[in-house]
Amino acid sequence: PVFSASKAISFAAACVSMLTLTSTMLTTFDDGTMAMLDKKLMLGGVGFVVTGVVLLMAVNMIVQSTKKLKQLKTEVQNGEQ
């Protein structure tokens, strides 16, 4: 479980880094041919996807851990009776 959480955190950090890289590249290589609205839409889209992926990953981890805790609680109760 700890290793799985560590992988999820690393993946989330990589996604945020991708968002930062997108922003940096749009600023660095701006030659005036791309409209400001296009830049905002691109950053908004990437940000939306990154946020969605991280949120889904967090919800999935919460659901899995809740199931695992219920399973362990049931095993402990059955062991005591």
Torsion angles phi and psi, residue 43, rounded to 5: -65, -40
Unique residue bearing structure tokens 């996807």: 49
Q: Please tell me the predicted confidence (pLDDT) of residue 79.
A: 80
pLDDT tens digit sequence for 14-61: 999 999 999 999 999 989 899 999 999 999 999 999 999 999 999 999
What is the structure's pLDDT at 3?
82
- Give the number of other Cβ atoms within 10 Å of residue 81's Cβ: 4
What confidence score (pLDDT) does residue 7 get? 93
Binned at pLDDT 50, 70 and 90, residue 81 comes out as low
How many other CB atoms are found less than 10 A from the CB of residue 33? 6
pLDDT score at 2 = 78
Supply the DSSP string of 16-70, one letter for each residue: HHHHHHHHHHHHHT--S-S-HHHHHHHHHHHHHHHHHHHHHHHHHHHHHHHHHHH
